Amino acid sequence: MNAFNQKISEIGVVPVIKLNHPERDAADLGRALCAGGVPVAEITFRATGADIAIKLMKEANSDMIVGAGTVTRTEQIDAVIAAGGEFIVTPGFDPELVQYAQEKSIPIFPGCTTASEYHQALKYNLEVIKFFPAEQSGGLAKIKALSAPFPMFHVMPTGGISLKNLKEYLSSPVIAACGGSYMVTADLIDNQKWDEITELCKKSREIVKEARA
């Protein structure tokens, strides 16, 4: 993997965040994640103002890797870049978005859960692809099966990942990192439970280290 993908892989978990009040919560949430040893965030466009959240989180936590998820349009990629975002995640595989992101020199992790989508990703020289929704699409068993004909990919499963199955996923060499929202639920963020978020991140990092020992 290239240096950027390797940095994310070393962290091992990527919080997938829907931020309803970016002006209020982005900076503090970033600090909570960093305090827990998880200096990375995927801010999704499932809530308005994702680009604002990216900008505010990155400004307050300069060492963080902050990117965008649920990206479905090229205009959103432009907004992410303007906000200082560092990567793009898409729910599915859209060749137009992959090509556009590569033209703009921003890493993109498109959603791929079938052999046909893996085949398309191969044409764009991608190293890391998203597998979403992971548990509902066959989970680790399917990821391992697809890695047989496509050993060149590392995979970032998202969807149904929790502290209960995190170690199982990360123990596989196919897995680059796991995306999850269990440490950044709506309850935790909207009620500003920063200490609880930090503790969940610390537990996640312990599992990362155990899985890769």
Q: What is the DSSP string of 95-156?
A: HHHHHHHHHTT--EEEB--SHHHHHHHHTTT-SEEEESSTGGGTHHHHHHHHHTT-TT-EEE
Q: Residue 7 corresponds to which tokens in the numbers above?
A: 């940095």
Which residues are designated catalytic?
42, 130
What gap in Å lies between CA 157 and CA 178, rounded to an integer?
5
- What end-to-end distance do the CA atoms of the chain give, in Å? 19
Q: Which residues contact 195 (CB under 8 A, 6 or more apart)?
A: 32
